[in-house]
Amino acid sequence: MAANDSDEQISNTLRALFQDDGGDKIVAFIQGMADLERRRKFYTLARQALPDRTDAKRNLDEAILIARAGIAEGLRQADLARARSDTVEAGECIDFANRLSYNLAADLAECWPGDDTLRERRHFEAGLRAAYDCILWRQELGKPPDRRAMAHWVAGMHHLSLGNLVEAVFGFEAALGLALQAIAAPATKPDGYIRPGGDFGVILYYGYRGIARHLLGTGSGMRQFEHACGAFEGTIRTAEDEEAAEDGKFGLDQLRWVGLKFMGVGVSGAPQ
């Protein structure tokens, strides 16, 4: 392929390779490139070559294989950069691994509306490992609180799937605290920030915390879940632009999906 190929051309090439020979072929193709930066670009786009979350042909093991190869490549390049005392390049390579790791953790999570892909315990364990790598790298890279919150949230989601309810609460609590920190709100009293048009991450993580708390038997868990859903519903009704309304719908659909899957209830708290 030419060095100036567009992202679309690269994605199409990788998609054709995947359809013919699977993830191993994609990894071999990318590793055969001499240009290290180009390898990182192709690994970034490789995710687009895979079937999307609602496609019955989706194979999570292939997603793990490709992402882990890309992460390993990023870490290897970071070591090479450190050997040259190029700390800037090393940081960029770690950040590349961080992004691949977060996307892998998110893709393996069973929280996306319409995604009925069969997951086994190994998928959640792989997602949890990827999430914890993100937590460490985002701290090391000095990422802002909202970005660190995302990593804690996805770790909490995998703990939820694995039945580690206490750890799930801790993950969602950490995500909520960081999201509140990002908007300079006191973490001790989050309830007042769960309102229509409020910060997306604060509302979402508050709702997830409610789910985990409910499963642990905490009486306030369902109320918190419903409070978050109500805030997203209000956001949709009162949004001043289409983007804000879409964000509210995305958050509401996700909470409803996870609430039904884990608690057997819809947004109103009534059994479905």
Residues 139, 169 share a domain: no
268 and 223 inside one domain:
yes
Q: Pick from 143, 176, 197: which residue ends a domain?
A: 143
User: Can you give the residue range of the structural domain that contains 62?
Assistant: 7-143
Please tell me whether residues 121 and 36 are part of one structural domain.
yes
Other C-beta atoms closer than 10 Å to the C-beta of 81 total 19
pLDDT for position 269 = 42
Same domain, 118 and 235: no
> Reduced to 3 states, what is the DSSP secondary structure of residue 265?
strand
DSSP string of 184-213, one letter each residue: T--TT-GGGG-STT--HHHHHHHHHHHHHH
Write out pLDDT tens, residues 64-78.
999 999 999 999 999
* Same domain membership, residue 202 and residue 106: no
Q: Greater confidence, 168 or 47?
A: 168
Residues 114, 21: one domain? yes
121 shares its domain with 40: yes
**Same-domain status, 38 and 129:** yes
Mean pLDDT value across residues 197-214: 97
Contact present, 47 and 70 (Cβ < 8 Å):
no
**Of the listed ranges 18-22, 102-106, 186-190, the one predicted with least confidence:** 18-22
Q: Has residue 148 been placed in a domain?
A: no
Q: For residue 3, what pLDDT band results from cuts at 50, 70 and 90?
A: low
101: pLDDT confidence band, cut at 50, 70 and 90?
Answer: very high
In the chain, how many domains are there?
A: 2
Confidence class for position 108, pLDDT limits 50, 70, 90:
very high
Average pLDDT over residues 189-217: 96
User: Same domain, yes or no, for 131 and 162?
Assistant: no
The verdict on 47 and 121 lying in the same domain is yes
pLDDT, tens digit, for every residue of 208-232? 999 999 999 998 999 999 999 999 9
